[in-house]
Chains A and B, each alone.
Chain A
Amino acid sequence: MTEFWIKPDECQRVLDEVRDVMRDRDRYFQHADSDLNIVDRNSYVDAESKRGDYEASELDQAYRQFFHEGLSPQFDKIVQMIERRIGIMQDVIDYYVSGDAEVQHRSQKQGKDMPVILNADGTAWDKPPSDVDGSLPGGHYQEAPYQFLDTNTPEEG
């Protein structure tokens, strides 16, 4: 008897909730670059500096450089990392729900690792559709499509 389990409905609910929050991901940051435009060009030096305009623009550039080369890419990186995890987790759920997981486990005789599929309340789930018998409309069996947790592989930002 396997010690593993999965509640696909619950997983999907969690994932949907995450997606709901992520819909607002740009809400606060999307106009951040406009903050830079309110900086007075005289913030940097007094008008009596010899090269006032040039030197004043340096602060302006520093702001923009920090934002465009540092902060904004970091924001994008975070969003991409989260989206990647959402996508992978969706693959995980689909993998089990589609029956592909069962097929793979059967074929590899690794039934002991196959999680018991449960309802949200912990009761047994109906047998998932599987294309073992060709019953899954348009279903294409695929081996575990996700590689969730290869933490040794550096992520691209």
Chain B
Amino acid sequence: MANFTAISWENADTFHRSDAHYQGHTAWAMVSPTTGSAVIAAGQLLGRVTDSAALFNEVFAIWTQFEDAYGGSDASQVVTAMSEVARELEAFQSATKMFYDGVVEYDAAVQKHDGKKSDYDTWATDWTDRYSQFLVDQDRPLDEFMTKYRVPKLELHSRLEAERAENEPTAQNIQLDIATARQTLADTLNAIDFDDLTDLRFTIHSAGLDRVDSTEEMEFMLLNNHLFGDQLSAADAKRVAAEIDIESLPYSYIDENGVKWIRTSSGELVVVGSAMDPNLQLRTLEALANDPATKDITVDPVGGSSDTDRNRTDGLLTLSEIFTETSNYYLLEPEISGAGIVLGTAGGLAVVAFTVVSWGQAGNQHAAVMSSSHFLMTNDQIEEAAQWAVDREMTITGVSLAASVAIAFIPGIGAVASFGANFVAGNAISLAMDAAWDNAQTESEMMQEVAVKGLPNAYDPDEHARLIDERNRRFGTGAGGGGGRPMMRSSQ
């Protein structure tokens, strides 16, 4: 699509030097392009597309009601008539995310040089003066030269050259990085192919594929949930399960085999009635919160074993409190209208249990995201998810990061925590970051929210920057994915 020509810099030689700057003795530092407006524009476009997609998803959800209205010989075709449209909608959204990601990465690549020019120019001006003077003085007799400089000519020349070699790359890199970022952006835009983006994103996690079909199976799922299953009695589970109408769970897509799928806020399709079904989770949580015997069950927000994880001292949360907080996400979009499609993320759950601590960074992060988003998952399912992330990382990078990164989960904004996970695992993980989209929070807004909540350690800008660098080093700065790597909006 886009065909960018290479940038040619004014009067620049191959060393990025220009006579117009420092008499050509050293490279010059450019002012970074002003990319902020490009990011804002792309962000607004993405917002419009997301809102439009939510509207179309609502259409799909309503359309499924034909299941109860039309029983002709072609009924299944009527009910699934929107499937093809859903694929086109997938492309509509994915392409825009790719576009936005490309612009954001371009912005990040350019802005990383912000603030360098001033310091560099100070050095370059001073150095150029000294170097120019040296060029004049080097023709003076040696004793005069020694009197003035107290070092031999060759020695001084070597020092000046060494200083230049140390400092000049700062300026050279600015030009090189801008040129590279520009080409990366062009490559990203060219890679957007609407026809190739029509594949629906079905989950690969068994937790999103195995569904409960009966009240008995629901009881089993409740008793085996990884977060507080051990605190439920069989009688509790039986009573609560009876309150949940599995048959009436909304769905957004029905496949040719008659399997109903619901689209999560991250765009994944999970089987209705599975542990990853956001509506099943919400209804279950509601039933638990309304049950006198279970509403006060407490959940430890910090289930991990590392010291960092244990730094969280928010205290225990009751299921009733969790439901109140979680349902706030859902109240914005009533279940019936969007059938779960346009709901806030299921990751709105205010708790997380770091049940897995031995999977390496990507595994731990993904497990944490899954745990915080889907309390109905079993420990085995959490571990399977962690293993998937590890395998995926191995496939992508050939290595697995062994070091564990401390990232805390914050009630209501778990997206901050999963930010690192998205970067570390490259395109693999695209879960709770969508909460950032839903909340339309910029990075600075998130940080502000962190501060307001009195959790100053929950978001570490240095760690954030390190993860971005790590991610760029491993995967390059190009987008190149199928829209599966949401990124935080820039605060520019």
Contact = CB atoms under 8 A, between A and B. Distances in A.
B196 interface: no
Interface string A56-90: 00110111011101110011011001100100010
Contacts of A103: none
A47 interface: yes
Interface residues of A, number: 62
Contact of B72 (A4, A10, A155): A4
Nearest to A3: B71
Q: Which of B34, B40, B77 has the most CB of A within 10 A?
A: B34
Given A28-B51, A51-B8, A148-B78, A81 B45 contact: no
Contacts of A6: 69-72
A31 B186 CA distance: 25
B62 interface: yes
Given A21-B58, A46-B31, A55 B41 contact: no
Given A18-B59, A92-B78, A48 B41 contact: no
Contact of A43 (B4, B35, B49, B92): B35
Given A39-B41, A66-B189, A46 B52 contact: no
A108 to B, nearest CB: 13
B194 A61 contact: no
How would you classify the secondary structure of chain B's contact residues: helix, strand, loop or mixed? helix
Given A18-B62, A70-B192, A149-B77, A43 B37 contact: yes
A22 B59 contact: yes
Contact of A62 (B31, B71, B186): B186
Q: Please classify how large the interface on chain B is, using the bins under 10, 10 to 19, 20 to 34, 35 or more.
A: 35 or more
A19 B75 CA distance: 20
B2 A35 contact: no
B56 A82 contact: yes
Contacts of A136: none
Given A58-B5, A66-B1, A149-B74, A14 B58 contact: no
Interface of A: 4-7, 10-11, 13-14, 17-18, 21-22, 24-25, 27-29, 31-32, 35-36, 38-40, 42-51, 54-55, 58-59, 61-63, 65-67, 69-71, 74-75, 77-78, 81-82, 85, 89, 92, 113, 115, 148-149, 151, 155
